[in-house]
Amino acid sequence: MRNSRREFLVTAAATGTITLLPFSARAADVFKSAAGDFTVHPVAHASFVLETPAGVIYSDPVGDPALYAELPAPDLILVTHRHGDHYNAETLAALGTDSTPIITCQDVLDQMPDGVKERAGAMGHDAGTEWNGVSISAIPAYNLDPERQNFHPKDRGDNGFVLGFDGFTVYISGDTEDIPEMRALEGIDLAFLCMNLPFTMTAEAAASAVAEFRPKYVYPYHYRGRDGGTQDPKAFAEMVGDAAEVKLVDWYPDDDNL
């Protein structure tokens, strides 16, 4: 594992306490299930690596490929939408092999360069596929607030993903607000939930959604915003309370202002 200045904050919902541990001592979280172990490696902002019994999944990998050098190589890559903090063709070209599949939306597929596009496929809303015995569904990801809809318009087809393993289900929000499709989710064991302004939603809206679809565990991520729009993941955890176990990670280890 890489050494870094990250620190991991573990929230104990039952007691309301927070334990601060050096990130190097808790570089990953492991979730046990009947299907096997699931290991989460946060990278930065919206990028993370998920080790699963079916293989290693990279979600929205961007940035210097060296960030991923000491992590297991991807067996599958998911890209939610076009924005540069989620999609970077050069990063994708450097990760995996020529046979590593990429699942994304049609908008991203249309702009992928040769050499990357050949191993990618588009999935529309409410569509599904299977990979190594894992069911993968794409659900919408979009803005509700009229003043934000230019960031993630519904008709562009940006994706969130639901990954169904045997006895363990993962939800990756992508960039979205607390849309009805999110609130209607059921049986989610592990969720990655965005929150920042003006691009997605407030911590309050995200906590309200969690209270409705009630994942067992939830990572607030993608919480750095613009013009004062950065959201506080610890405040989110307090609002969530006992609706879910919140996993707090410093997704911005090189920024002393966060």
Q: What tens digit of pLDDT does each residue of 4-61 get? A: 323 323 333 233 333 333 333 336 999 999 989 999 999 999 999 999 999 999 999 9
Mean pLDDT for the chain overall: 89
- Burial class of residue 147 in the structure, from the number of CB atoms within 10 Å of its CB (0-12 exposed, 13-18 middle, 19+ buried): exposed
Q: What pLDDT does residue 254 have?
A: 76
The predicted-structure confidence for 64-86, as pLDDT tens digits, reads as follows 999 999 999 999 999 999 999 99
Domains of the chain: 29-233 (3.60.15.10)
The predicted-structure confidence for 116-163, as pLDDT tens digits, reads as follows 999 999 999 978 999 999 999 999 999 998 989 989 999 999 999 999
Q: What pLDDT does residue 126 have?
A: 77
In angstroms, rounded to a whole number, what is the distance separating the alpha carbons of residues 56 and 71?
Answer: 10
